[in-house]
C-alpha cells in the first residue's frame, strides 16, 4: 500500500520543524501542564501557524484556509503530534469542529465560528460522554426541554439539563460542541441534537477532575437550565446522531499518535549512545517490531485520509486505525519505559527524553478509552466483517 503525499511534503516538514525549533521551548511537553506558560506557548504558536497559512491548510480559502490537500494537512498533523502538539487544543477545531460546521452549519454559524478557528483564537470542548453513557453514547440523558414561548422571534428554544464527564479542555474552552436529547421514545440514536454552546452561558459549571495526566484533561460539566435556540442547532433537530458518526470518524484519525510513537522509538538508539548495545536482544527485537507497527498504523490512517478526499469516511476504517494506534501507544510505552529503566540517561538530552517517555506512558493509559473505547472499536469492526461475510454474492451463469 503506497500513498503519495505530494512533491511538497518534505519541504513542508522542514518548514514546520524550523517553526517549532524557533517558537517552541526545547523542553516543551504540551500545553496541558500545571504551568500556564505552556498554554501561552501553544496559543502564540497557533497564531504563528495561522499567519503562515499553516494552521488550517486544507480548509477552503473562503473559510480561512489555503485550499491545500488533505495530505498536506496530514503532514502538519504528524509534525505537530511528533513535537508534543504545540497547537494545544486547537487540533479539535482544525480537524473536526471546523469541517463539521462547514458541512452542516448555517451561513451565520460558519461566519461566526470558522474565522476564529482559522486564526487560532478559540478553543472548543466536546460535550459527549456522560456518567453511564461513555462507550454507549446514544444512551445519554442530558436533555434539552422545549420552552413554551420559543425564542421570542418565532423560533424554538430549549433549556438544557444534565451532566457531561471526561470533558477535555472544558476549563479553558470558549465553546462546547454539545450533544443532548431533544426527543424521547423510539431508537436511542434518534432524538439527539447538536448545539453550539458558549461556555460562559448562564447555568454552566465546570469541575476539574484530578488525574495523572495533569490539569485540563478531565472535567465534569453541569448544565442547569442552559438556554439554547434554533440558532445554536448544528444540522437538523433530532438528527444529531448522523453528524456524530461523521465527527467521531474525523476525530479518531485526526490525532496522529503514531508519529510521536515512531519518533520516540527512533530516538532511543541515539539518546542512549553506547548503552544501546548493552540492552537485551529481546528488548531490541520488541523495539524493532514496534517500529513496524508504527508504520502499519500510519498506513491505516492514510487509508482513512484518502477516503476523506472522496467524502466517504468509513467508521470501520477509523475503527481499524483506532485499534492499531491504541495498541501501538500502549506497547511502545511499555518498551520505552523498559529501555529507560535499563540504561543510564545523562545530560540534558537524556533527562528530557526520560520525561518524554514518561509523559507518553501516562497518556497511553487513557488511550484505551479516549475517543471511544478499544472494545467498542473491536465490536464495530467485528460487526462490519460479519455483515460483509454473510452478504449474498451474485453470480453470473457461465462464469466461474
7-35 pLDDT per residue, tens: 889 999 999 999 999 999 999 999 988 88
Question: For 71-85, 87-101, 139-153, 382-396, which range has the lowest pLDDT when averaged over its residues?
Answer: 382-396
Question: Among 32, 96, 108, which Cα is nearest to 253's?
Answer: 96
Joined grid coordinates for residue 319:
475503527
pLDDT-derived band at 70, boundaries 50, 70, 90? confident
Looking at the predicted structure, is the pLDDT value of residue 394 above 60? Answer: no
Chain region(s) in the chain for CATH 1.10.540:
9-88+114-121
Q: β-pairing, 157-164 with 219-229?
A: antiparallel
Looking at the predicted structure, is the pLDDT value of residue 395 above 50? Answer: no
Question: What's the pLDDT score for residue 233?
Answer: 97
Question: What's the pLDDT score for residue 397?
Answer: 39
Q: Which of 79, 251, 262, 356 is catalytic?
A: 251
Q: Quick one: average pLDDT of 61-67?
A: 91
Looking at the predicted structure, is the pLDDT value of residue 263 above 80? Answer: yes
Question: What's the pLDDT score for residue 323?
Answer: 87
pTM score, two decimals? 0.85
Residues in the chain: 400
Question: What's the pLDDT score for residue 303?
Answer: 86
244-248: long-range pairs with CB below 8 Å, 24+: 244/128, 244/137, 244/179, 244/192, 244/194, 245/315, 246/100, 246/103, 246/313, 247/96, 247/100, 247/177, 248/315, 248/318, 248/371, 248/372
Looking at the predicted structure, is the pLDDT value of residue 150 above 80? Answer: no
Spell out where the chain has E strands: 124-127, 143-146, 157-164, 175-181, 192-198, 204-208, 219-229, 233-234
Class of domain 256-387 (CATH, top level)? mainly alpha
Question: What's the pLDDT score for residue 313?
Answer: 63
For domain 9-88+114-121, give the CATH number.
1.10.540
Alpha-carbon gap, residue 40 to 52, rounded angstroms: 18
385-391: long-range pairs with CB below 8 Å, 24+: none
Question: What's the pLDDT score for residue 369?
Answer: 65
Q: β-pairing, 157-164 with 204-208?
A: unpaired
Which is more confidently placed, 383 or 169? 169
Chain region(s) in the chain for CATH 2.40.110.10:
125-243
Alpha-carbon gap, residue 337 to 160, rounded angstroms: 45
Question: What's the pLDDT score for residue 305?
Answer: 83
Selecting from 3.30.1360.30, 2.40.110.10, 3.20.20.450, 2.60.120.200, what CATH number does the domain 125-243 have? Answer: 2.40.110.10
82, 84, 85, 88 alpha-carbon torsion, rounded to 10°: 170
Question: What's the pLDDT score for residue 251?
Answer: 59
Catalytic-residue membership of 251: yes
How many Å separate Cα 325 from the centre of its chain?
13
In tens, the pLDDT along 115-135 reads 999 999 999 999 999 998 877
pLDDT-derived band at 308, boundaries 50, 70, 90? confident
3-state secondary structure of 91: helix
pLDDT > 90: percent of the chain = 64
Mean pLDDT of the chain: 89
| 8 A C-beta contact, residue 196 and residue 113 | yes
Amino acid at each position: 500500500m503506497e500513498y503519495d503525499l505530494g512533491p511538497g511534503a518534505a519541504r513542508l516538514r522542514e518548514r514546520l520543524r524550523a517553526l517549532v525549533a524557533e517558537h517552541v521551548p526545547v523542553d516543551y511537553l504540551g500545553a496541558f501542564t500545571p504551568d500556564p506558560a505552556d498554554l501561552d506557548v501553544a496559543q502564540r504558536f497557533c497564531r504563528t501557524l495561522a499567519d503562515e497559512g499553516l494552521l488550517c491548510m486544507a480548509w477552503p480559502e473562503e473559510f480561512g484556509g489555503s485550499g491545500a490537500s488533505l495530505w498536506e494537512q496530514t503532514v502538519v498533523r504528524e509534525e505537530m503530534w511528533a513535537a508534543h502538539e504545540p497547537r494545544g487544543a486547537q487540533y479539535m477545531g482544525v480537524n473536526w469542529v471546523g469541517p463539521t460546521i462547514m458541512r452542516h452549519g448555517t451561513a451565520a454559524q460558519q461566519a461566526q465560528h470558522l474565522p476564529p478557528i482559522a486564526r487560532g483564537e478559540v478553543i472548543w470542548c466536546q460535550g459527549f460522554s456522560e456518567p453511564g453513557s461513555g462507550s454507549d453514547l446514544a444512551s445519554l440523558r442530558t436533555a434539552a426541554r422545549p420552552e413554551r414561548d420559543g425564542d421570542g422571534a418565532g423560533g424554538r428554544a430549549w433549556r438544557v439539563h444534565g451532566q457531561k464527564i471526561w470533558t477535555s479542555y472544558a476549563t479553558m474552552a470558549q465553546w462546547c460542541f454539545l450533544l443532548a436529547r431533544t426527543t424521547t421514545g423510539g431508537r436511542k440514536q434518534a432524538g439527539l441534537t447538536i448545539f453550539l454552546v458558549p461556555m460562559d452561558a448562564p447555568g454552566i459549571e465546570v469541575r476539574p477532575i484530578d488525574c495523572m495526566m495533569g490539569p485540563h484533561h478531565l472535567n465534569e460539566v453541569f448544565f442547569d437550565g442552559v438556554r439554547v435556540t434554533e440558532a445554536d442547532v448544528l444540522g437538523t433537530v433530532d438528527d444529531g446522531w448522523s453528524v456524530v458518526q461523521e465527527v467521531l470518524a474525523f476525530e479518531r484519525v485526526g490525532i496522529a499518535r503514531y508519529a510521536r510513537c515512531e519518533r520516540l522509538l527512533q530516538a532511543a538508539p541515539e539518546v542512549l549512545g553506547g548503552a544501546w548495545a548493552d540492552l537485551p536482544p529481546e528488548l531490541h527485537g520488541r523495539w524493532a517490531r514496534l517500529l513496524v507497527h508504527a508504520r502499519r498504523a500510519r498506513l491505516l490512517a492514510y487509508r482513512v485520509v484518502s477516503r476523506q478526499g472522496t467524502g466517504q469516511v468509513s467508521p470501520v476504517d477509523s475503527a481499524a486505525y483506532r485499534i492499531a494506534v491504541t495498541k501501538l501507544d500502549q506497547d511502545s510505552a511499555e518498551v520505552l519505559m523498559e529501555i529507560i529503566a535499563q540504561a543510564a540517561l545523562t545530560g540534558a538530552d537524556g533527562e528530557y527524553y526520560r520525561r518524554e517517555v514518561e509523559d507518553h506512558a501516562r497518556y497511553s493509559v487513557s488511550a484505551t478509552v479516549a475517543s471511544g473505547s478499544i472494545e467498542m472499536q473491536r465490536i464495530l469492526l467485528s460487526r462490519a466483517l460479519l455483515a460483509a461475510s454473510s452478504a449474498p454474492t451474485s453470480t453470473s451463469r457461465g462464469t466461474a
